[in-house]
């Protein structure tokens, strides 16, 4: 452990950027796994009247009783419902895009931004920590959220790279102010400056899971 810490301090830029990018990409993998499990739980298949199977999100389906051709139209039975487990496949191209955005902007930006804040306002104390948290949420938060939505939309080849940003930025920012204000207060108070980018990456794991999931939501449901 001591050797790892010495190596980390010897190469702070590489350690922080690589660590942040790895955590950033891991968040997308977690989000995809969670979405896959949720979809599998909601998927059922129901045998149709000729013995074939059809996938549906409903839990029951009614079919005419076999062998009763002269029965009334409303003579139906409920077919048994069985869950159809499916193996969710990871979209590695999506994860690669998230990792690229994380590496090109978020990891490098956070590394230099946090170093700059510490140089301008060194040390702890309630006033200095509060000032750094305020500046972080005023400047860094809007930039990182914007880079996430616009960067991913651009890499995905969206016709309007700003669409997700316009519809989801404000909700994301309001949620992030509560979450990140607390986390950054801990960061500026307790974490050594050399390790703050990696700490942010660890905290960003849960945050990025939220952003990745939020980005997949249709804009129609958010307006």
Position 165 scores a pLDDT of: 93
Element at 35 (helix H, strand E)? helix 12-41
Position 222 scores a pLDDT of: 47
How far is 186 from 126, CA to CA, in rounded Å? 11
Position 137 scores a pLDDT of: 95
Full-model pTM: 0.70
How far is 218 from 223, CA to CA, in rounded Å? 10
Position 31 scores a pLDDT of: 85
If you compute the radius of gyration of the chain from its CA atoms, what whole number of angstroms results?
25
Position 7 scores a pLDDT of: 58
Position 34 scores a pLDDT of: 83
Question: Token digits for 151?
Answer: 């960067």
Of the candidates 207, 218, 219, 220, the one whose C-alpha atom is nearest the C-alpha of residue 27 is 207
| 8 Å CB contact between 54 and 46 | yes
How far is 202 from 98, CA to CA, in rounded Å? 15
Phi/psi at 59 (5° precision): -95, -20
Of the candidates 67, 129, 101, the one whose C-alpha atom is nearest the C-alpha of residue 215 is 101
Position 221 scores a pLDDT of: 40
Walk along the chain (223 residues) in steps of 10 and give the mean pLDDT of each run.
62 81 88 73 51 50 50 51 59 92 92 92 90 95 94 93 93 92 93 88 87 73 43
Position 77 scores a pLDDT of: 52
Position 124 scores a pLDDT of: 83
User: What angle separates helix 196-216 from helix 12-41, to the nearest 10 degrees?
Assistant: 30
Position 198 scores a pLDDT of: 84
pLDDT tens figures, 90-147 = 889 999 999 999 999 999 999 999 999 999 999 888 999 999 999 999 999 999 999 9
Position 128 scores a pLDDT of: 93
What's CA 42's distance to the chain center, in Å?
21
Position 70 scores a pLDDT of: 52
CB atoms under 10 Å from CB of 118, counted, come to 16
Q: What share of the chain is helix, strand, coil (3-state, %, to 5)?
A: 70, 5, 25
Sheet containing 53-56, strands listed edge to edge, beginning at the edge strand earlier in sequence = 53-56, 44-47, 82-83
């Amino acid at each position: 452990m001591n050797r790892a810490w010495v190596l980390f301090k010897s190469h702070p830029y590489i350690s922080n950027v690589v660590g942040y990018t790895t955590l950033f990409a891991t968040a997308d993998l977690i989000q995809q796994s969670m979405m896959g499990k949720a979809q599998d739980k909601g998927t059922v298949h129901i045998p149709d009247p000729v013995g074939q199977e059809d996938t549906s999100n409903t839990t029951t389906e009614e079919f005419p009783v076999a062998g009763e051709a002269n029965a009334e139209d409303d003579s139906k039975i409920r077919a048994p419902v069985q869950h159809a487990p499916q193996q969710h496949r990871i979209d590695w191209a999506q994860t690669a895009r998230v990792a690229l955005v994380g590496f090109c902007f978020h990891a490098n930006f956070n590394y230099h931004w946090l170093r700059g804040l510490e140089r301008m306002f060194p040390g702890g104390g309630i006033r200095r920590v509060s000032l750094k948290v305020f500046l972080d949420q005023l400047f860094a938060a809007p930039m990182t959220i914007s880079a996430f939505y616009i960067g991913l939309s651009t890499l995905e080849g969206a016709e309007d790279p700003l669409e997700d940003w316009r519809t989801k930025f404000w909700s994301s920012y309001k949620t992030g102010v509560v979450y990140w204000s607390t986390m950054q207060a801990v960061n500026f108070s307790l974490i050594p400056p050399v390790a703050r980018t990696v700490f942010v990456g660890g905290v960003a794991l849960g945050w990025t899971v939220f952003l990745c999931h939020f980005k997949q939501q249709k804009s129609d449901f958010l307006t």
